[in-house]
């Protein structure tokens, strides 16, 4: 019996097979490091003389493939250098604010931002010496009143989370341009399907890719694009230094989800319009909020900015407060009660106990968020099924009082 030689080089990397064909799907590249030929070549890479990857915290192929796709959707200016993918939507918000602002600066944010964005402005920025104020995004004059000589940036959501107010984006953009202040727009709810912030004067565009763009509640990612390459570099440097790195696998999944984005968005949007009208006619509903409905306080602005693109988000308020809220959720087991949005299926969220639980009851009330207030991320299910589910759920709340 002949002894078979034992390989001695198993830990040495095997060259990747090459051929005349190429994969149809984007490969996943999980490698943390990339090999260079020499120190001189590495210098050339870092200096920008040649393209290449070095260490995945500084960038990797799957993030770049995803970023270029969203750049195309968003119409990101070429002068900005292309968008960046980071580890979450809040990583994108944080990288913008902390990458561009320094101690002594001041930022004005919309008073109806996502709960964690509000916390960042109220509690975290002041710890770093950055002042923060809030203003009503539906009224540009309130932003003018909130500005200070040291104000460097304005942050707004075009459609606010969760009460779906529509920002006076053109008025705010004109103010920012006149005063030489950067305007950052979180367009997660509207998405590039409904609105392009750069075309309306934004300097920075933010998305939580986790939501509608990826669309399946299986990735956590954020996106930032800038008009100016210098701003991109400042945001990039902060993100790399603080480790806001996206997972290659999440980027690969998000790219896959993005391929059906237009189809998913259009179907969910049509469902949302129909469901909003249905909810408005049910007994036990105090108010229904959808940007294109005639009873929405910003309906004229919404139509002017969004056209027929009202989005997939609907909010409503029940009579009966928290007790009614509990009854509604229990009566609709087919609707996922989950603090997320943008999934292919419909999800129901209760902001007072999830996204905005960090606010006081008084702060929530000032923003129109009561214990009976819900936010629906409408999915692509059959609309008759959705109407039946919500009719059943609301019926279970009738007669309930706190």
Q: Is 51 one of the catalytic residues?
A: no
Could you tell me the pLDDT band of residue 246, with boundaries at 50, 70 and 90? very high
The sign of the dihedral angle between the CA atoms of 280, 285, 287, 291 is negative
Catalytic-role residue among 211, 264, 267, 375 = 211
User: Of 114, 223, 236, 290, which one is the catalytic site residue?
Assistant: 114
User: Catalytic site residue 273?
Assistant: no
Mean per-residue pLDDT, 206-231: 98
What is the architecture, at CATH level 2, of domain 261-395?
Alpha-Beta Complex (3.90)
Give me the CATH topology for the region 39-258: 3.40.640
Q: Give the 3-state secondary structure of residue 374.
A: strand
Starting at the edge strand found earlier in the chain, the sheet holding 285-289 runs: 285-289, 313-318, 373-377, 347-349, 336-337
Q: Determine the pLDDT at residue 1.
A: 54
8 A C-beta contact, residue 374 and residue 332: no
Give the tens place of pLDDT for each residue, 308-345: 999 999 999 999 999 999 999 999 999 999 988 999 99
Which of 44, 57, 124, 170 does the annotation list as catalytic? 57
Instruction: Tell me the pLDDT tens digit for each residue of 261-273.
Output: 999 999 999 999 9
Q: Which of 71, 105, 168, 186 is catalytic?
A: 186
Q: Is 55 a catalytic residue?
A: no
DSSP 122: I
Known catalytic residue at 71: no
pTM for this predicted structure: 0.94
- Where are the domains positioned within the chain? 39-258, 261-395
Q: Cα separation of 52 and 36, whole Å?
A: 9
Q: What angle do CA 348, 207, 68 make, to 5 degrees?
A: 130
pLDDT in tens, 368-400: 889 999 999 999 999 999 999 999 999 999 988
């Amino acid at each position: 019996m002949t002894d078979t030689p034992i390989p001695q080089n198993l830990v040495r990397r095997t060259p990747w097979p090459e051929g005349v064909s190429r994969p149809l799907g984007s490969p996943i590249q999980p490698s943390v490091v990339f090999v260079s030929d020499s120190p001189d070549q590495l210098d050339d890479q870092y200096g920008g003389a040649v393209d290449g990857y070095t260490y995945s915290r500084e960038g990797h192929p799957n993030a770049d493939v995803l970023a270029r796709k969203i750049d195309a959707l968003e119409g990101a200016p070429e002068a900005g250098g292309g968008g960046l993918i980071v580890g979450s939507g809040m990583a994108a918000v944080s990288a913008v604010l902390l990458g561009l602002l320094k101690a002594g600066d001041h930022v004005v944010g919309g008073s109806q931002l996502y709960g964690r964005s509000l916390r960042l402005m109220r509690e975290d920025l002041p710890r770093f010496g950055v002042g923060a104020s809030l203003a009503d995004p539906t009224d540009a004059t309130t932003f003018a009143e909130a500005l200070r000589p040291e104000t460097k940036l304005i942050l707004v959501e075009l459609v606010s989370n969760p009460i779906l107010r529509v920002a006076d984006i053109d008025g705010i953009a004109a103010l920012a341009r006149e005063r030489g202040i950067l305007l950052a727009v979180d367009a997660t709810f509207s998405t590039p399907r409904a609105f392009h912030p750069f075309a309306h004067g934004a300097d920075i565009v933010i998305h939580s890719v986790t939501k509608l763009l990826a669309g399946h509640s299986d990735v956590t990612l954020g996106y930032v694009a800038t008009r100016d390459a210098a701003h991109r570099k400042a945001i990039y440097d902060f993100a790399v230094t603080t480790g806001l790195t996206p997972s290659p696998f999440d980027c690969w999944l998000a790219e896959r989800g993005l391929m059906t984005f237009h189809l998913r968005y259009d179907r969910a949007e049509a469902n949302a319009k129909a469901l909003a009208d249905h909810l408005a006619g049910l007994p036990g509903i105090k108010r229904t909020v959808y940007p294109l409905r005639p009873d929405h306080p910003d309906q004229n602005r919404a139509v002017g900015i969004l056209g027929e693109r009202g989005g997939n988000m609907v909010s409503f308020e029940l009579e009966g407060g928290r007790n009614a809220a509990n009854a509604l959720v229990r009566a609709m087991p087919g609707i996922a009660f989950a603090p997320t949005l943008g999934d292919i299926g419909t999800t129901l969220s209760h902001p007072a106990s999830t996204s905005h639980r960090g606010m006081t009851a008084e702060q929530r009330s000032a923003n129109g968020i009561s214990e009976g207030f819900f936010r629906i991320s409408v999915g692509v299910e059959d609309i008759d099924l959705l109407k039946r589910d919500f009719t059943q759920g609301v019926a279970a709340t009738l007669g309930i009082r706190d």
